[in-house]
Amino acid sequence: MNLSAFSVKRPYLVFAVLVAILVFGGISLSRLPVDLLPQFSLPSMIIMIPYPGAGPQEVEKNVVDEAERWLGTISGIEEIESDAADNLAFIHLTFDWGVDPDMLTTDVRDKLDIAMSWAPDEVGDPTIIQLDASFLPQMMIGVSGGADAIANREVARDIGKRLRRINNIAAADVIGGEEREISVSIDRRKLTTYGIHPAHIEGVLAAHNINYPLGSIEEQGREMELRLVAEYDDLAELEQTIVGSKGDIPVYLADVARVSWSKTDENSAFSVNGVPGVSIMIHKTSGANTVRISNALRGEIDDIRKNLPEGMAVTILYDSARFVKSSLSSTFWNLLAGAVLAALVLFLFLGRLRRTAFVGAAIPLSVFIALVGVELAGYKIDILSLAGFTVAIGMVVDASIVVFESIHRYNTMGYSPGEAAVKGTREVGGAIFASTLTTVAVFVPLLFLKGFVSLLFQEFSWVMILTLAASLLVALTFIPMAASRFMKEEQKKTRLAVWFDAGYAWLERVYEKFLNWSLRHRVYAVFLGVSLFALSLMAMFYHQKDFFPDMDMGEIMVDITAPAGTSLDEMKARVDELEMLVVDSIPELDLVQTAIGGGEGFISSVRGVSGKNAQMTVYLVKKTKRKRSSKDVEEWIREKAKNIPGLEITPAAQTLGSIAFGAEDLALGGTTPIVVEIEGYDLEAADSIGLLLADSLRMIPGLVDVRTSAQDRRPSYSFNIRRDLASRFGITPYELGRILRTELTGAVATSYSVEGDEYDVRVRLASQDRSSMDRIEALEISTPAGMVPLSNMVTIKRASVPSAIHHKGTRRIRSVGASLKDRDLGSASDDVRALIKRLEPGFPPGLKVSLTGGFTEMSESFSDLWWVILMAAILVYLIMMAQFGSFRFPFIIMFTLPLALIGGIAMLVMTGTSVNTFSLLGFIVLVGVVVNNGIVFIDYTNKLRREEGMGLEEALRKAGKVRMRPILMTAFTTVFGLLPMAIGIGEGTELTTPIARPVLGGLIAATFLTLIFIPVLYHLFEKPRESRRKRNEAEVKVNKRKAKRRR
């Protein structure tokens, strides 16, 4: 007993199972996590190694080189990139796709332990972090209204602690404000008088402020802990610490230094709409539900507001869930609208409400069955899984249409509903299985693909596979069961159905004329098809190409850089001017926030290492409430910023690339579509080539914000020690360096506790003694030989040095970057490559110049997707070959692919949609869909010739007339199901429209062209065979007549 017969025999069981599936599907829908994009973890790892007080060259020599040497021995690492900056070594490991970074964490740590054993004592412990989407901020909140910057930061710190207690909150980093500390400000003259150096004071304070475990003893049956407690209770006790002596007279700290509450050196600032404040950047754990986390945070923030100090306010500045919810809402309504339109098309073709209800029920049943599979597979509801459901909506009724039409035909032949259901389903069961298999098969290569494209589209592929497989199950079970129980003759057709049938009859007559003309003028028809295909290929070659589609998220990130050496105060003054310009002149503005320098946490530590960097984020009101796009506002900022001197400003409207590579981009300093890398050890030679390339890139149309690392240099004073004199005074370079760093930068000697909060105790010279190079040169250093002027031991030189040194695979790299304006990435990259080729003969030997950036990612992704399209076409051909038992007929059907390409490319050109990773996914879908029309046509043509003995042209004409209706019905349910998605109304739909548009255009073109060109091609392939068959039959007859005459 087959599946359909079982369904007809046991209807209540089938009904119960389907109801249960609907219930479980609803439960799955309520429990599935919600986010904008699929969860993915990049095969990347970040290592951050602090080296306080060191410059880029020292960090490179003492940390980076050694770390790269040892990390390079680990198997599975594809590439190592490093940055040596002030106070920090930053290493980015990229692993081979398929390698789990978690499995290599232990190896990485072991190799770093070996490398760091050779490093100076000042080098801190490495921090190892695996990159994934959780490094994108979930929410940012602002704290303002406190008495001063210290009060704002302290309240923000307490709020951050409270928010970290919420489930699935990974971090809450504070940016901006000021912190309190104890300042031990040393008087240089008194220090010289007593012959004491600051490093000695640092050690004394640390030794006198301890809480030291001594072990334990047993007393009266209880274990008692023993501790030596010598902690400072107040500042007066700290001042009375003996730090030295002069003769028999003790020298107290108060004799040589001023001890007071102070604030840390300001290295960051934060403001909202020009008002200073503090922000908290909140990150969720990997895989957590964005919407639920947002709701939990908002609830907690509401509670926090009730207990804030008077005058203070907490404001939600950014919430990623807002865009997630609006984008998913838009995609869901497109899905729902597509389902309604597909049902309307069914009603027009079927002409009866009951029939439409039978077939239309396949849509919710298939979706809810697939939802159960989505949860079991560990996926979630996001914009791509919803896109998968939307694309599948119009296709899930195809199998049900074929089954129902077959059942209805048997019912009209006099069979009972039950018999008709079994016979009709059995007749077409094999065909719809093969048809569904060809559609599903195109997604199989995507599942085996490695790389970012696979991570991004794997969820879409599984949703399509699950939904289409569910539609086949529904067609083979629910449709025959429902038909056997409820099929009966309905009342006459509605007036709308009558009008539609009249229109269809006219279309049928027009088609018949076109088909007759094409069969009589086969050469012209083929020439027309080939010409259209050639024009499409040319259009695709010259059409704009981008990595990702532009998406208007309503956010513009503005990277701001001042000349190297710019102070924080000067940077604040310049940025304030830009911020006020934005606040006063952009009517679409919701708010603008600006972060200067660094803060707490991983991202701030990496990106905010000096006060010369700032990042402004401009948030716009919802897309429906403004006239200008994010790109328009980006360009306005770019033009207006030219009037602000001393700032290099790079605005960039946030797009999918910002989300997909968000963690990596934040860590590495942002995305840049065009990057030219200059590889070579000689930094000066590389910088000179960088400046030449930058000037040349500015001449290429569409390239803006051209910047080069050659400009990222800063003024520096180099203290070159005179070894012979230093040795004579009994002091080593290391000792001198430590003394100077303590005196100038300061050193945290110990901590001071107040009501459970710990505050640093910082020792250094008073500000007036380190305010200029003249005063620094006049310093006297305590040595075994006595107090010696610093100028006697060092030669001080002024120089210009790189602010950072970048490595790729142990090789030094300098770079030139550019953004795009009204230009696609593909054509711009072609111009840049031509420029490099033209300038290459003049490059110094030893330098290698190459184009990287977004172009590299786009090229790799395009290559992968074209491979998927080729593999999908091969799989579809093999499935059809098995179905037809022939090489010839599948080959004819494969000509529907170039016919679909004609419509797909035309739709991209007409709508101005670029060829990108998402539109190529649409072409992959198209490969599996368009062949179904050819299968239906050729299968019926063969049946007419084989079973009814029709001639070639007669069979083609009848097949065209009879199969035109089911071909149009299945095509237009898919087309209208995709129509809302292709139009793309609402926020976030920019991601899904490129998938729908080539499918829509390709299916429309392929449907009509298939009805013309497939008969023509079939005729061209089969006419010689039929002629040979007729000749052979004629020869057989002649031979038989001759044989009779002989007898």
Q: 763: which strand partners?
A: 184, 747
Token pair listed for 298? 């908002």
Q: ∠ CA(732), CA(734), CA(736), 5° rounding?
A: 70
- Cα separation, 905 vs 538, whole angstroms: 10
Burial class (CB in 10 A: 0-12, 13-18, 19+), 121: exposed
Q: Is residue 907 within 8 Å of residue 1000, measured between CB atoms?
A: yes
Q: How far is CA 259 from CA 187, 205, 262, 476, in A?
A: 11, 12, 9, 85
- Each domain of the chain, given as residue ranges in start order, spans 35-136, 180-263+715-802, 510-542+886-1032
Q: Is residue 594 within 8 Å of residue 571, measured between CB atoms?
A: no
DSSP state for residue 717 in the 8-state scheme: E
Q: ∠ CA(169), CA(174), CA(177), 5° rounding?
A: 165
Q: Which residues of the chain have pLDDT under 50?
A: 599-611, 660-670
pLDDT in tens, 683-726: 888 888 988 998 999 999 989 888 888 777 777 888 888 888 88
- Cα separation, 647 vs 760, whole angstroms: 34
- If phi > 0 it is left, if psi is from -120 to 50 it is alpha, else beta; for residue 319 that is beta
* Architecture (CATH level 2) of domain 510-542+886-1032: Up-down Bundle (1.20)
- Looking at residue 998, its pLDDT comes to 92
- Looking at residue 659, its pLDDT comes to 52
Q: Give the closest residue to 142 by CA, choosing from 283, 278, 243, 329.
A: 278
- Three-state DSSP string of 557-586: EEEEECCCCCCHHHHHHHHHHHHHHHHHHC
CATH of 180-263+715-802, one of 3.40.50.300, 3.30.2090.10, 3.40.50.170, 3.90.1150.10: 3.30.2090.10
Q: Is residue 854 within 8 Å of residue 674, measured between CB atoms?
A: yes
Amino acid at 504: Y
Burial class (CB in 10 A: 0-12, 13-18, 19+), 804: buried
- Looking at residue 670, its pLDDT comes to 44
- Cα separation, 609 vs 268, whole angstroms: 9
Give the orientation angle of helix 495-520 with respect to helix 952-983, to 10 degrees.
120
In this structure, are strands 757-765 and 180-186 parallel, antiparallel, or unpaired?
parallel
Please list, in sequence order, all residues whose beta carbon lies within 8 angstroms of the beta carbon of residue 1041, skipping any fewer than 6 positions away: none
- Cα separation, 790 vs 780, whole angstroms: 6
DSSP string, 503-572: HHHHHHHHHHHHHHHHHHSHHHHHHHHHHHHHHHHHHHHHS-B-SS-----SEEEEEEE--TT--HHHHH
Amino acid at 685: A
Q: What is the pTM of this model?
A: 0.80
CA atoms within 13 A on the CB side of 631: 10
Q: Give the closest residue to 565 by CA, choosing from 524, 610, 596, 528.
A: 610
Secondary structure element (H or E) that encloses residue 798, with its range: strand 794-802
The domain made up of 35-136 has a fold known as Alpha-Beta Plaits (3.30.70)
DSSP string, 926-972: HHHHHHHHHHHHHHHHHHHHHHS---HHHHHHHHHHHHHHHHHHHHH
- Looking at residue 132, its pLDDT comes to 65
Q: Is residue 266 within 8 Å of residue 610, measured between CB atoms?
A: no
- Cα separation, 270 vs 596, whole angstroms: 6
Please list, in sequence order, all residues whose beta carbon lies within 8 angstroms of the beta carbon of residue 473, skipping any fewer than 6 positions away: 369
Q: How far is CA 874 from CA 429, 866, 881, 927, in A?
A: 24, 13, 10, 10
Token pair listed for 641? 């910023």
- Cα separation, 869 vs 445, whole angstroms: 8
